[in-house]
Amino acid sequence: MSGLYDRVPKSEPSPAISGLAVPMSVCHGLPDTTPTHPIPVATLDNLTMDMKNLVKKIQDLSHLGIEDSKIMLPKICVVGDQSTGKSSLIEGISEIKVPRSEGTCTRCPLEINLSESDDTWKCVIHLSRRYIFDPSKRMKMPKKSEPLGPWIALGGQDDEHFITLDNKQDVKRAIMCAQLAILNPSTNSQDFLPGSADMEQPPQVKFSPNAVRLDISGSGLPNLSFYDLPGVISQTEQDNERYLVNLVENLVKDYVSQEHCIVLLTLPMTGDATNSSAARIVRDIKGAKERTLGVLTKPDRHPPDEAFDQWHEILDGSKFKLGHGYYVILNNPDPLVSHTQARKEEEIFFSSSLWTRDLAAFHDRFGTTQLQTALSDLLMRQILGSLPSIIAQIDEKSKAIDEELQTLPNPPTEDVQRILWAKTSDLERKIHELFDGTFGIENGSSQRKPLQEQWNKIVMDLQTALAKTRPILDVAAQKDNEDLAEIVDSDCEMKIVGVNMSTPKKRKSPATATSISEPSTPRRTLYSTSHFEGSKSTRISLQQLTELKIRSNTVGVPNQLDPRAIENLNKRSVEHWGKLMEIFLKATHSLVHGMLIEALEEEFAQYHQTGLYQELNRILKEFMSKLRHAHLQIAKDYCKPEREIPFTMAQGQHQVLMQKASNTLKARRLNARASCWLKIRGHDMGDERISEKIKKIQPEQLGPDRYSQELEMMASSLAYYDIASSRFLDVLCQSTHMKLFRACRASLVNTLRDDLEIFGDNGRARCLDLMTEDPERQHRRAQLLKEREKFSKAQEWLDSVRDSDVEMEDSDQTAFADIKEDW
């Protein structure tokens, strides 16, 4: 076949290829953006074979269903209002006749794939279904979540072969029949084959987003793909069909909004361009105008008495500017007129004086042949610019599919017992690492113990809670006012009068004055976890200690402290330990259970949807529940004697701690009594020197303290609390190691194996039964395998592009001229 290689010297690159390989503006025909290497005026058969194959690969990727995975491919979409000459445009480009009568001609998308072939002319028609019809939503207006109203996306593409033709004259009727099949989704499509279809039968639906696909091949055809979309409508024949206006508009928007889509906008020269609904859609979608090429149709019907001013301004880009400019075409709608004859008539029409004189500056944009050349050039640029992104997306999607398939392997059918033994052995190793720690990567001598690290936080919080809930004695008493008021000291009283008559001094804050009778508030320690938040200490008054001492006295000797009083106080100070113990065990068991579940999920990730994983999860849950109840019972058995029989043999330690507590309590008590003594005698408790006055007061001045035995009781109880709380913490931690950590490490995996019953006489049958998948998992794997096959084929096709000398460009939107909003 003759082509560019026949006319261009071998030492020079083809003008078409040069035009594709160097950066060029995509604003075709605009005066200020003339390409550096002009494309010769010729049909697309002038492209090299490599370029033809590249277009063919994009067509194949589309038919493979790549766009179902949200990977948008380069395409050309023809849009326009109804009766704007779209059919003439389609016929001119594709060299076939399409239906023009009312009914099915513009009721669904028409996908036309043209390819050059040395074989005889052939047209294969498919029904491409991506949506199913839901009759229950038939009359509902489309909404954002359902932009196509009653049409619900399938999530894939179903291509059904309809008919193969070898005669151009049969195409028009075959398209009508195919569209009827699309518009009757509940009827067998074979009922609409040419010769058997009732063309007068009213369709089930008025519009459909499903497409009729024509794969046309033959000698001299351009390698081109485009979509003819239903004409945009502004009103319907029936009021109950008003939802169709939005349905069609949303369908057109779906195509036009795709970033790799070249939009072919048809505007008839019989009216005002500002009235075009399709043009409004293009204008409203961000970036669409830059990708749009305008086609002015029906120039022969332009009223002779009207000036061409509007169309001249449109052609030169001063009005309604589009990214790729405008072309003007003329096509004879007579079905008896051949394509060749129509092109001759078109050439004669544009050779008239109006077009050669008044509009001579735009002569390279008149005629279908020039439009074909521009479209082929645009499509090739779009393909070359988007290929890097398409290849990257396909590779990324393929990788994601492989990763998911690794979690959904086919269930084993042989040696299943050995496989499960190995998997449980790996789980056992993970559990040992969980409790024993794993060696760090950077330093082999150090171990990482995530479980131990997290559990240590819980232990430290329990220790903090035991310290924060230690009883606190309120050292001030109401009877202090009576006791201290009875002490008579004339010298002191004389001094007091002098103090009262003196000029008031600078006052200190009330908090300073009261702090001497209150115990110092322990420094707040923040918990590492939230388990013990809210735990508070118990405050005990001196009067309560007196009442406890009286109730506990059985010796009958005055002023002698009964040991039972201290024992009862000890019981009272630890009565809250049961609650702290339950919080500690719950937090510990939850931590261990959670980490064991993580280990199980990680090791058996590929079996999550099988009965095996469900059984493992159940056995683990029951195992941990038994451990928790047993551990809790042991802890309760230990807590009971702590609350009922306070006991310690650490006499030396108790004596030291008691002396320390006694000294602290006595000092606080002395401060409280001295403060009360000064207050009774009229001292200003806000005086900044009040602390110095308190320190100067000696115990002899205050007389004997009626609560001295109560202080002794409290000091002994606090000493016991410190000893017992340390023992309590140690015993709980020790029992946790023995009854939880060691039990899990030593027995969990064996329990899993025993309860699964996979190694007995019927072990193999039991394994196969456990590893049977649920239907959802099987469906997902089958779906992924189908997807992987699709993407593997796509990668195989694109490998040749990677290895070829085709120079791919990165899409660059900066080349577009500034397009003002004049629509």
Average pLDDT over residues 728-751: 96
Domain assignment present for residue 810? The answer is no
Angle value at C-alpha 350, between 348 and 353, nearest 5 degrees: 100
pLDDT of 555 > 50? The answer is yes
Domain assignment present for residue 203? The answer is yes
| Domain count across the chain | 2
- Mind listing the pLDDT tens digit for each residue in 152-185? 888 777 889 999 999 988 998 999 999 999 999 9
Look at residue 30 in the predicted model and tell me its pLDDT. Answer: 39
Range name among 18-32, 187-201, 622-636, 689-703 with the lowest pLDDT average: 18-32
**CATH number, domain at 322?**
3.40.50.300
Residue among 755, 768, 765, 778 at smallest CA distance from 424: 755
Output phi, psi for 78, to 5 deg: -95, 120
Residue among 559, 562, 566, 734 at smallest CA distance from 654: 566
Output phi, psi for 145, to 5 deg: -75, -20
Range name among 66-75, 662-671, 769-778 with the lowest pLDDT average: 769-778
pLDDT of 382 > 90? The answer is no
Q: Same domain, yes or no, for 453 and 381?
A: no
Distance CA 249, CA 142 (A): 10
Look at residue 785 in the predicted model and tell me its pLDDT. Answer: 86
Q: Is residue 814 very low, low, confident or very high in pLDDT (cuts 50, 70, 90)?
A: very low
Q: Same domain, yes or no, for 165 and 85?
A: yes
Q: Same domain, yes or no, for 557 and 682?
A: yes
Q: Of all helices (H) and strands (E), which one includes residue 292?
A: strand 292-297
Distance CA 470, CA 466 (A): 6
Angle value at C-alpha 346, between 344 and 349, nearest 5 degrees: 110
pLDDT of 822 > 70? The answer is no
Domain assignment present for residue 211? The answer is yes
Q: Is residue 439 very low, low, confident or very high in pLDDT (cuts 50, 70, 90)?
A: low
Q: Same domain, yes or no, for 377 and 467?
A: no
Pairing of strands 326-328, 151-165: unpaired
Residue among 86, 66, 195, 177 at smallest CA distance from 125: 177
Q: Same domain, yes or no, for 473 and 357?
A: no
Question: Burial, 316: exposed, middle or buried (Cβ in 10 Å; 0-12, 13-18, 19+)?
Answer: middle
Task: Find the domain containing 598 and state its range.
Answer: 449-483+528-756
Look at residue 12 in the predicted model and tell me its pLDDT. Answer: 35
Look at residue 617 in the predicted model and tell me its pLDDT. Answer: 94
Report which DSSP code applies to 81. Answer: B
Look at residue 44 in the predicted model and tell me its pLDDT. Answer: 37
pLDDT of 566 > 70? The answer is yes
Last residue of a domain, one of 363, 387, 411: 387
Domain assignment present for residue 681? The answer is yes
Angle value at C-alpha 467, between 465 and 470, nearest 5 degrees: 105
Q: Is residue 41 very low, low, confident or very high in pLDDT (cuts 50, 70, 90)?
A: very low
Domain assignment present for residue 752? The answer is yes
CA 680 → CA 384, 543, 673, distances in Å?
A: 98, 21, 11
Q: What are the structure tokens assigned to 358, written together?
A: 């008044």
Look at residue 802 in the predicted model and tell me its pLDDT. Answer: 64
Q: Same domain, yes or no, for 308 and 455?
A: no
Last residue of a domain, one of 348, 366, 387: 387
Domain assignment present for residue 425? The answer is no
Q: Same domain, yes or no, for 381 and 456?
A: no
Look at residue 221 in the predicted model and tell me its pLDDT. Answer: 82
Look at residue 31 in the predicted model and tell me its pLDDT. Answer: 38
Q: Give residues with Cβ within 8 angstroms of 136, minimum separation 6.
A: 150
Distance CA 295, CA 283 (A): 16
- Highest mean pLDDT among 39-48, 508-517, 583-592, 795-804 belongs to 583-592
Q: Same domain, yes or no, for 169 and 257?
A: yes
CA 762 to chain centre: 44
Query: In percent, how much of the chain has pLDDT > 70?
Result: 81
Q: Of all helices (H) and strands (E), which one includes residue 697?
A: none
Q: What are the structure tokens assigned to 692, written together?
A: 């110095």
CA 723 to chain centre: 53
pLDDT of 674 > 90? The answer is yes
Taking a C-beta distance cutoff of 8 angstroms, is the pair 73, 66 a contact? yes
Number of Cβ atoms within 10 Å of the Cβ of 12: 8
Q: Same domain, yes or no, for 380 and 463?
A: no
Last residue of a domain, one of 342, 368, 387: 387
Q: Same domain, yes or no, for 324 and 470?
A: no
Domain assignment present for residue 806? The answer is no
Taking a C-beta distance cutoff of 8 angstroms, is the pair 322, 292 a contact? yes
Domain assignment present for residue 14? The answer is no
Q: What are the structure tokens assigned to 704, written together?
A: 């004997």
Q: Same domain, yes or no, for 375 and 477?
A: no
Q: What are the structure tokens assigned to 199, written together?
A: 């063309």
Handedness of CA 710, 715, 718, 723 (dihedral sign): negative
Q: Same domain, yes or no, for 460 and 318?
A: no
- Helical residues (DSSP H) of 103-191, grouped into ranges: 171-182
Taking a C-beta distance cutoff of 8 angstroms, is the pair 386, 809 a contact? no
